[in-house]
């Protein structure tokens, strides 16, 4: 998120000075690291949680928004490639078909109805549906071989899906920011944020590693973006802005199963999402993914969600307790009580053995061999908890930008669809924090992200134009 914001500011205000402060010894070691997230270019082509069903009606509005937002991200990346600011043959994004797989007659009907609604939407027009095991075998043999022939199964497929290595993208964006004058301080933690009476922010830092370990410093800034991922809530609380009062953070840990065995990897070339197990939160929807990281293919399965009290993978078990304040205690209590089932589910999941976890993979891939797979720790998610309209705490699954009233500080909390929609989220943030600059910036924003404010889903012609304008520069599958 911070790398994206830096890249946008570089395009809009090349003379502004930018300083990026990172507590770890390298960038992209938390959620944006390639093995800390699933690398799905979220466009709602396969994720069922973006098309919820209520009272028999499937709502596709969120799916449309997320796909349009992903097109905006693609446009920005493609424009940086065209201008030589990202590598000419980008390695961070790769074509990987997106599929949804369901089992059981009721779920097959649900998927069929979902397909009927989506296929007429311009951005989803290449979606295919099948409940024929022979066709599904053609698309993903590993899901069919060894499966009971009487089991009802169905699948949708969109060939133009993507896998994104957000770690590589972050490093490339940061390198470009450095090349264009930004300063990056690694191994340095922001420990406090104070606003001076003249409106300038004092950003207090402490060096965590190397020869200068323990050294304290203060940076002065007219604008601060708290792009600290799971660490954003505590920093926003320290800033003292009233807008963060009442917010809390619900940490969800996770593990994936991963295999790099070339023989196994060769059997599956897709990202396949399914329905979450009963009682599981939407972010633990299981999926079996082809990953492409540093040019090598692997398979990833999961995530298996769990609970611990850290806000960052490399954080402290005290993070959750330190975020409890008088102003948000009510939110924690009421949201906690309303989601007690979820807490129990997550705590139970933490203690599941590798064999128990492997059973979920067998539901997908009946002939998988346990010895080919190893468990890896995923990034930490911190879901937003905030006061709902009735004053009671609610758990929110998306991302949320919190901005101070005068627009001099802004921070981002929450997860999914996260990294995939970083560009529109950061453009929104700039518009909100610098309204006086908008007139000046609009023409450049329109060049960088033509579909921002001019939705790609408006017509088939528009969708084709937007999708195919980015496919070439990014090296991904165009639409026929």
Taking CB under 6 A as the criterion, the residue among 32, 69, 130, 403 binding ligand FAD is 32
Strands (E), 131-186: 153-158, 162-164, 183-185
Q: Does 280 bind ligand FAD (CB under 6 A)?
A: no
d(CA 324, CA 310): 13
Neighbours of 475 (CB within 10 A): 14
d(CA 253, CA 256): 11
Which of the stretches 216-224, 375-383, 446-454, 469-477 binds ligand FAD when contact is defined by CB under 6 A?
375-383
Cβ distance to ligand FAD smaller for residue 95 or 130: 95
Tell me which residues in 5-24 interact with ligand FAD (CB under 6 A): 21-24
Cβ distance to ligand FAD smaller for residue 254 or 424: 254
Taking CB under 6 A as the criterion, the residue among 5, 7, 31, 257 binding ligand FAD is 31
Q: Does 73 bind ligand FAD (CB under 6 A)?
A: no
3-state secondary structure of 175: helix
3-state secondary structure of 70: helix
Minimum CB separation of residue 469 from ligand FAD in Å reads 21
Here the tokens at position 155 are: 């699948």
Tell me which residues in 321-340 interact with ligand FAD (CB under 6 A): none
Taking CB under 6 A as the criterion, the residue among 90, 303, 404, 473 binding ligand FAD is 303
Count of chain residues binding ligand FAD (CB under 6 A): 37
Cβ distance to ligand FAD smaller for residue 29 or 130: 29
Q: Does 306 bind ligand FAD (CB under 6 A)?
A: no
Minimum CB separation of residue 393 from ligand FAD in Å reads 22
Beta-strand pair 381-387/248-259? antiparallel
d(CA 454, CA 407): 25
Nearest to 232 by CA among 399, 58, 35, 49: 399
Q: Does 39 bind ligand FAD (CB under 6 A)?
A: yes
Minimum CB separation of residue 122 from ligand FAD in Å reads 22
Cβ distance to ligand FAD smaller for residue 310 or 462: 310
Tell me which residues in 77-136 interact with ligand FAD (CB under 6 A): none
Nearest to 195 by CA among 405, 426, 401: 405
Contacts of 456-462 with C-beta under 8 Å, sequence gap 24+, read 456/67, 456/68, 456/71, 456/122, 456/123, 457/64, 457/67, 457/68, 457/121, 457/122, 457/123, 458/122, 459/122, 460/122, 460/125, 462/122
Taking CB under 6 A as the criterion, the residue among 90, 254, 286, 306 binding ligand FAD is 254
Check if the beta carbon of residue 32 is closer than 8 Å to that of residue 172: no
Task: Give the single-character DSSP code of 348.
Answer: H
Minimum CB separation of residue 263 from ligand FAD in Å reads 25
Query: How buried is residue 170: exposed, middle or buried, by Cβ count under 10 Å (0-12/13-18/19+)?
Result: buried
Taking CB under 6 A as the criterion, the residue among 357, 381, 386, 387 binding ligand FAD is 381
Q: Which helix (H) or strand (E) holds 432?
A: helix 422-433
Q: Mark 152-171 with x for binding to ligand FAD (rule: CB under 6 A) and - for no binding.
A: --------------x-----
Q: Does 229 bind ligand FAD (CB under 6 A)?
A: yes
Task: Give the single-character DSSP code of 297.
Answer: E
Taking CB under 6 A as the criterion, the residue among 95, 122, 231, 248 binding ligand FAD is 231
Q: Mark 407-426 with x for binding to ligand FAD (rule: CB under 6 A) and - for no binding.
A: -----x--xxxxxx------
Residues that bind ligand FAD in the complex, under the rule CB under 6 A: 1-2, 21-24, 29-32, 36-40, 42, 166, 189-190, 227-229, 231, 235, 254, 303, 312, 378-379, 381, 412, 415-420
């Amino acid at each position: 998120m911070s790398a994206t914001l830096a890249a946008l500011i570089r395009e809009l205000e090349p003379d502004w000075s930018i300083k990026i402060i990172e507590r770890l010894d390298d960038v992209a070691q938390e959620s944006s690291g390639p093995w800390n997230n699933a690398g799905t270019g979220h466009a709602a082509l396969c994720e069922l949680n973006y098309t919820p069903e209520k009272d028999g009606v499937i709502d596709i509005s969120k799916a449309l928004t997320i796909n349009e937002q992903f097109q905006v991200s693609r446009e920005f990346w493609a424009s940086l490639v065209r201008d030589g600011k990202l590598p000419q043959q980008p390695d961070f994004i790769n074509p990987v078909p997106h599929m949804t797989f369901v089992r059981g007659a009721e779920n097959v009907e649900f998927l069929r109805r979902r397909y009927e609604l989506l296929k007429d939407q311009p951005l989803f027009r290449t979606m295919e549906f099948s409940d024929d095991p022979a066709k599904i075998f053609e698309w993903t043999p590993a899901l069919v071989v060894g499966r009971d022939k009487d089991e009802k199964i169905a699948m949708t497929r969109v060939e133009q899906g993507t896998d994104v290595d957000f770690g590589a993208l972050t490093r490339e964006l940061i390198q470009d920011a450095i090349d264009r004058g930004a300063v990056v301080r690694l191994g340095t933690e922001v420990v406090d944020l104070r606003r001076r009476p003249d409106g300038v922010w004092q950003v207090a830092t402490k060096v965590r590693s190397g020869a200068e370990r323990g050294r304290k410093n203060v940076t002065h800034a007219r604008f601060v973006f708290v792009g600290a991922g799971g660490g954003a809530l505590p920093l926003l609380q320290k800033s003292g802005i009233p807008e963060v009062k009442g917010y809390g953070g619900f940490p969800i840990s996770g593990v994936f199963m991963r295999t790099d065995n070339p023989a196994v990897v060769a059997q599956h070339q897709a990202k396949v999402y399914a329905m979450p197990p009963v009682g599981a939160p939407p972010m633990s929807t299981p999926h079996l993914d082809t990953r492409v990281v540093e040019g090598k293919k692997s398979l990833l399965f999961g995530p298996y969600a769990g609970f611990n009290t850290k806000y960052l993978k490399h954080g402290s078990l005290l993070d959750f307790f330190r975020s409890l304040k008088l102003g948000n205690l009510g939110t924690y209590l009421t949201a906690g009580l309303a989601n007690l089932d979820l807490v129990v589910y997550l705590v139970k999941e933490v203690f599941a053995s590798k064999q128990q976890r492997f059973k979920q993979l067998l539901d997908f891939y009946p002939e998988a061999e346990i010895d080919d797979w190893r468990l890896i720790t995923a990034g930490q998610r911190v879901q937003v908890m905030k006061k709902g309209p009735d004053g009671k705490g609610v758990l929110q699954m998306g991302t949320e930008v919190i901005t101070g009233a005068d627009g001099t500080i802004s921070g981002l909390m929450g997860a999914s669809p996260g990294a995939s929609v970083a560009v529109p989220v950061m453009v929104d943030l700039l518009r909100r924090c610098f309204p006086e600059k908008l007139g000046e910036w609009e023409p450049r924003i329109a060049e960088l992200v033509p579909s921002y404010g001019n939705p790609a889903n408006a017509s088939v012609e528009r969708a084709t134009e937007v999708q195919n304008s980015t496919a070439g520069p990014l090296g991904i599958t165009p639409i026929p």
